[in-house]
Structure 1
Amino acid sequence: MKTMATEHTFSVTRHTLTTDKPFEAFISELEKHAPLVSPEVLGELADLNLPQDQLRARVEGLIGSSGFVLFMKAIHNQLFSHFGRTHASVQYAIGNPLIAKDVSDKAPAVCLYTPFRLAAYESLETRKTIVSYDSPASLFGSFGVPEAAEIGAKLEGKLQDLLARCL
């Protein structure tokens, strides 16, 4: 069996926002607009073998008012506090399964970034809440498929709207 490897270097735009809003208040607001949905729930839906329109309706019913769901929540400080950490930090996998389907139809390798990551953490110095994410437009655009870059730009706009509501 023959194997081939390639490398591709590209630029990514990272957005970082800082707010005086307390960390827990930000997290609560984020999860109100983008509910946490486990991968098992989506897997169970797929196993129901529903007609496409019914499956789409069920998936749409899981998506929050922001147009996003949270697929994963890694609460770093739960473990790290046992090692002396004194500030909170959380990483989310966030996205929209219907948008992910559309973009991966255009560029299959984009599944590397769907869902994408969002981090929220407290500043060590000021205790302000910081939110950071890599631009979906630059991530999706790295595949050289204009339609994927366009979807990434629209997704980024939706994310900016969500964060404006939460911050």
Structure 2
Amino acid sequence: MAAGQIAEHRYEARRLEVQVDRPFAEFRRQYEEAVPAYDRDAFAALVARQAPWSDVLDLMRQRAPHSFLIYWNSGDVQPMMRLAGDAGHCVEYLMGNHTIAERMFRHDPTIMLYAPLRTAITSDDDGTGTRFHIEQPSHAFASFGRDDVTRVGVELDQEVAALLDHLGVPVPAALAG
């Protein structure tokens, strides 16, 4: 693309909402146990010593038993929203696996717009009605028009399905397919 040109890429997003049969706090705890926090120091140590990629893969396998780590979470925004009279709960997350993302990044670094994956856990005002939300990964990654990137996006659908199955919640057919 020449300097000053603008390209527009459209795709259809599919946001999935999964009803969870547990209270918000319980499901949040279970999710955060299954998807542990990214250990910045451990991975930075690999970068500092210029470790081989195989060491990165090994550390990710050790730290992410269900394929994903939490790179960031908002904390429950309910205390701030309560100031406006809202009582519902919401915690947003950036959940991912940089070793999976790398398999797309090598083809197009722009995939980092969608990696890590954005997820949320929400509840109604009374803390019941817990839901898990995610945009289907394969839709976002297919928008790049590259089979090698799309295949990894489909793999991410399956990894999210496996995580939801582990958490004992319904798996949307769109992810399991």
**Is the pair's TM-score, using the shorter chain for normalization, greater than 0.5?**
yes
Alignment of 1:51 onto 2:52: yes
**Whole-angstrom distance in 2 between the partners of 1:82 and 1:126:** 17
Question: Scaled by the length of structure 2, what TM-score is found?
Answer: 0.83
Bigger CA drift: 109-118 or 42-51?
Answer: 42-51
Matched residue SS, 1:17: strand
**Whole-angstrom distance in 1 between the partners of 2:74 and 2:46:** 24
Partner of 1:74: 74
Alignment of 1:132 onto 2:137: no
**Whole-angstrom distance in 1 between the partners of 2:165 and 2:56:** 31
Partner of 1:92: 93
1:38 CA drift (Å): 5.0
Partner of 1:35: 36
CA distance change for structure 1 residues 31 and 150 in 2, over 3 Å: closer, same or farther? same
CA contact (8 A) 2:114 2:140 kept: yes
CA distance change for structure 1 residues 161 and 56 in 2, over 3 Å: closer, same or farther? closer
Q: Which letter does structure 2 place at the counterpart of 1:71?
A: Y
1:106 CA drift (Å): 2.5
**Whole-angstrom distance in 1 between the partners of 2:115 and 2:149:** 12
Q: Which runs of 5 or more residues in structure 2 are unaligned? A: 170-177
Partner of 2:166: 165
**Whole-angstrom distance in 2 between the partners of 1:44 and 1:82:** 42
**Whole-angstrom distance in 2 between the partners of 1:146 and 1:33:** 30
CA contact (8 A) 1:91 1:119 kept: yes
Partner of 2:155: 154
Partner of 1:21: 22
Matched residue SS, 2:72: strand
Q: Which runs of 5 or more residues in structure 1 are unaligned? A: none
Question: Scaled by the length of structure 1, what TM-score is found?
Answer: 0.88
Alignment of 1:121 onto 2:98: no
RMSD of aligned residue pairs (Cα, Å): 2.2
CA distance change for structure 1 residues 2 and 53 in 2, over 3 Å: closer, same or farther? closer
1:62 CA drift (Å): 2.1
**Whole-angstrom distance in 1 between the partners of 2:133 and 2:9:** 24
